[in-house]
Structure formats: C-alpha cells, structure tokens
Amino acid sequence: MGHEIELLGKDPVGRRSDAVAEELVRMIQSGDLREGDRLPAERELMQRYGVSRSAVREAIISLANRGLVVTRLGHRPVVRKLDYEIAIDKVGNLVGHLVVERNGVWNLFDSRIFLEAALARWAASHARRDDIEELRAALEANRQAIGNSVLFDETDAAFHAVLYRIPGNPIYPAVHKAYVEWLIQHWRSMKRGADIDQMNYAGHEAIFDAIAARDPDSAEEALRRHLVAAWEFVRSTFANWKQVHAQRPSDDS
C-alpha cells in the first residue's frame, strides 16, 4: 500500500482519482464493499491513498457515473448493486443524441426489430405454457385498452416485455426497458384514434397466434410486419422526418 500511495502522490490529480476509483471498484467487485455499504469517509480515503480531497471526490463521481454508488448531499455514498439495467441506463444520454441525428431513429428502431424478431422465433419454439398464458393475458389487457392512448401504450410495452422475459436472460428485459425509455417521448407525441390502436393490437394478436401455434417463421414474419407498420407511423412524429428519413436507409442509393 505504501508503494501505491507514493505512486499516487506523483501522478496528476486526474490519474490519482482514476487510481482511487479503480481501487474502490475492486473492493466492490471482491465483496469488501457490499450493496448498501457506505464508502469510507473522504478524509479516510485521502489518508489511505495519500491524495487530495478533489481527487477523492472525482473518484466518487466516477463511481456514481458507472452506477456503482448512490450519492446524496450531506451523506456518504452508498454502494449499489450493479445490474444490466443500470449498465444499459448509462448509455441513455448517448442514445438521446443519436435519435436526433440523421438515420439515428431508424437505426434504433431497426435494432429493435432485429432483436424482437429473434425473440419471437425463440418464443415460438421454446416458450413454456406459463409463458404463453402470460403473453395471452398481456394481449387481453392490450385489447381492453384500445381507445385509451396512455393505457394502450403501457399495455403495448407490457406485451412486448413478455417476449424479452421468455428466454430468461436478464439482459433482454433491461434492453426492452431502455427501448421504452428512449422512444416513449415520440410515442406520446403521436395523435391517434382507436383505429391505430386496433391496428397495433391486430399485430400483437398475429404475433401471439403464431407463437401459440409453435410456428417460428410466422412468428418472426408477424413481428416484423407489426414493427415495420409501427415505424411508418412513428416516423411521422419527428419534425424533420422528411429530411432525416424520407426513405429507409437501407434503400438509399
């Protein structure tokens, strides 16, 4: 430890804070600091690593930005459990910039189509009886919400969320939550009537029927048809959609 402190003392402030941050990360990963634990006091960290208060505070900001600690004014930072949802949340600001750049929105939507098509195929082949019943219940809730745009959006997202949960991989539900958060502002800007809700419900119904029939090809086709139709409606909500995406990028010459 003495050698480490000596090295830290000779490095610029930024590098000293990076070294402190990495040591705290190591302690969290090893279990020396567990979820709910408070970090050592700033003065203790300063003495332990031979660094300034500013270096300690920069290190804590770094951990907070990674989702590893929760900070609150006047309180010592608390270690939080790092999970896939937190990790994916950390790219939210980047995606927020991407969706206003040329083709950014389509690229995001296209990645969703690609992933959900695979999930629909998987569900048609591997979904358990309980999964099918959960999807059926989500479909029925979606049907009952037709005409109530806020509730319909919620039940729409809930229907798709089941597809992300069926494989049992915790990364997929975290990705779905991110898609919803990234796109919700555009969904809410869409002025539509019950006819659009009915169209989207019909798409969900076709996806469910194919999955319940254990038909992977039809499930994928129904999913793609549904989301491509949804995209044609979604893109009209962007103020600059004529300039950004007059046609799908894959068709550009």
Q: Spell out the residues 6+ positions from residue 91 whose beta carbon is closer than 8 angstroms to its own.
A: 178
Element (H, E) at 55: helix 53-65
Coil, helix or strand at residue 237: helix
CATH code: domain of residue 40: 1.10.10.10
Structural domain of 105: 88-251
Residue with the two structure tokens 């059926």 = 136
Task: State which amino acid sits at residue 10.
Answer: K
CA distance 50 to 7: 9
- Residues 127 and 138 sit within 8 Å (Cβ to Cβ): no
pLDDT at 230: 85
Q: DSSP class of residue 238? A: S
pTM: 0.64
Same domain, 111 and 197: yes
- Domain CATH for 125: 1.20.120.530
Q: Do 107 and 17 share a structural domain? A: no
In a shared domain, residues 146 and 70: no
Does residue 61 sit in the same domain as residue 182? no
Query: Are both 66 and 139 inside the same structural domain?
Result: no
Torsion sign across C-alpha atoms 151, 152, 157, 163? positive
Judge contact between 78 and 61, C-beta under 8 A.
Answer: no
Contacts 24+ apart (CB under 8 A), 111-118: 112/179, 112/227, 113/223, 113/224, 113/227, 113/228, 113/231, 115/172, 115/175, 116/160, 116/163, 116/223, 116/227, 117/220, 117/223, 117/224, 118/220
Tens-binned pLDDT, residue by residue, of the chain (253 aa): 443 444 444 455 558 888 999 999 888 888 888 888 999 999 999 999 999 999 999 999 888 877 788 888 888 999 986 665 565 565 555 565 565 555 667 788 888 999 999 999 999 999 999 999 999 999 999 999 999 988 998 899 999 999 999 999 988 888 888 888 777 666 666 667 788 899 999 999 999 999 999 999 999 999 999 999 888 877 666 554 444 444 444 444 3
Which pLDDT score, from 0 to 100, does residue 86 have?
60
